Structure 1
């Protein structure tokens, strides 16, 4: 299968409005294919997006990984990112609109996935409130959020999953993630209303910590959202088994939700 790689830019409705860049992978001989927007974590574009894009592209799914930091002049890391993931939601919806306009992409089959900060964006994009504010077009057809700080929903102002669009959601977390309790994902699902819970599938990977699919030397970061909002250090270490399983599950999920 041949791929076409393009480096693109498009306007978003952020405040103030921005021109955001991204890496687009399309399949020129595949007809109008499904596509997935990929949203990075606090460390910016760091290889996780490419890790998942490779498998998605091989499955016949186009990808657009968005760089949410460069247009804001943000340095990488927790200290430099915007105040809230809500501020970067317009980037995700603008990326969706950009994908929908590409001749290789089926505009009715666009999903979204993200890691950590990008995972929060991915989940918020599944809410009715975000859909109303950011996009008049049909909602994303599927959402895959990896380690999206599970304790925060219903606790941090503006972060709520109580009213979703109904599109299917897959959340993948690790039981060694320093942002949450080992059963943090189960706790999140238990406190959601029935309608939201029915739209979400949760998978917890044993022994995996935050950033378990980041194939790079281990590093310790400090984040005020870590340890259920108490703040502190977080070890990010690659977990090959969890990473490969998570990638496989993401591909299978999008093959089903973007048929």
Structure 2
């Protein structure tokens, strides 16, 4: 359904020419124990309908796999791992790569997935239609299946952490219909979901919900992805058996884990004025205000009215310190499983 495809990106979907990488070997199995940059198959669905139908076009994306104390340990040692899903600005040295280093110090292998570069995208901050969110969710779940084949990784202890748009990926990979669209067979699933300052203004909703721990880390002063919208989503998840921990960091803005001080960015696209659920069984758009299901010809007009520009981005050292403590606690529980 075309209109619901647009909702999945939170804006009117534009035609995009996806560019596949023309270098390196694409692998779907890591039984050879490799690490470093890895090209692996995924798909680029136009939205949740195509994703769930299983007829999305094939893509090749990349990820960088690294182990703690690279070169140390034994071949028989099985470690926990975390998939890292980047935000709308792509992979940032001071965020995705900094968190990967922190996680490796905890004894966790890290796989930083790049959903943008292999598709010829630099950023989606000013135009989220450049890559549907469903594509990033597909990438994360394909990454999960790939890591599960690595001889040094414990397939039952693979988690995911994401930031902003990547935070949404961390959340929606806990929805069983999405997982089953990639893992048609077997019981491989994420054992931990950590979402930093995710947008919950147009959330995906589907049952069943994973029973793995879900950790929300939100900024109390976030004017780009308001924490209040995520408290609503937390209630929905908990009502369906979700094991959810919610922490709202007082005075923290969007990107509270970044080193630069907060500043207002006028061009970024925000769904903070929206309030619409995307139900996946079947796919439909339902307004929060009155529960009305929007028809295809109504969705565009609603999005044009609710989407806004501008948001404050920047770090808060105290919030970062607390977020590090929360993530360490969650990862330590994963490691002890």
Out of 5, 8, 11, the residue aligned to residue 41 of structure 2 is 11
**Whole-Å separation in 2 of the counterparts to 1:91 and 1:152:** 20
- Length-normalised TM-score, structure 2: 0.68
SS in 1 for 2:160: strand
Q: Please name the residue that 2:182 is paired with.
A: 134
C-alpha displacement at 1:20, in angstroms? Answer: 1.0
- Distance in structure 2 (CA, Å) of the matches to 1:122 and 1:177: 19
**Counterpart for residue 145 of structure 2:** 97
Give the SS at the match of 2:37: strand
> For the Cα contact (< 8 Å) 2:201–2:272, is it kept in 1?
no
Contact 1:226 1:233 in 2 (8 A): no
Q: More deviation in 13-22 or 125-134?
A: 13-22
**How far did residue 80 of structure 1 move?**
5.9
1:183 CA drift (Å)? 3.3
Map of 1:77 onto structure 2: 124
Matching of residue 152 in structure 1 with residue 202 in structure 2:
yes
The answer (yes or no) to whether the contact 2:253–2:262 under 8 Å persists in 1 is: no
Q: In the TM superposition, what is the alpha-carbon distance from 1:150 to its structure 2 partner?
A: 2.4
Match of 1:29 in 2: 72
CA contact (8 A) 2:80 2:158 kept: yes
Match of 2:106 among 44, 49, 59: 59
| Structure 1 unaligned blocks of 5 or more | 154-158
Q: Which residue of 2 aligns with 1:156?
A: none
Distance in 1 between the 2:252 and 2:246 partners? 15
Cα distance change of structure 1 residues 61 and 96 upon mapping to structure 2, 3 Å threshold: same
Aligned residue in 1 for 2:208: 163
RMSD: 2.2
Contact 1:115 1:146 in 2 (8 A): yes
Please state how far the C-alpha of 1:84 moved relative to its aligned partner.
Answer: 2.9
Aligned length: 250
1:107 to 135, 155, 159: 155
Q: CA deviation at 1:13?
A: 3.3
Corresponding position of 1:215: 259
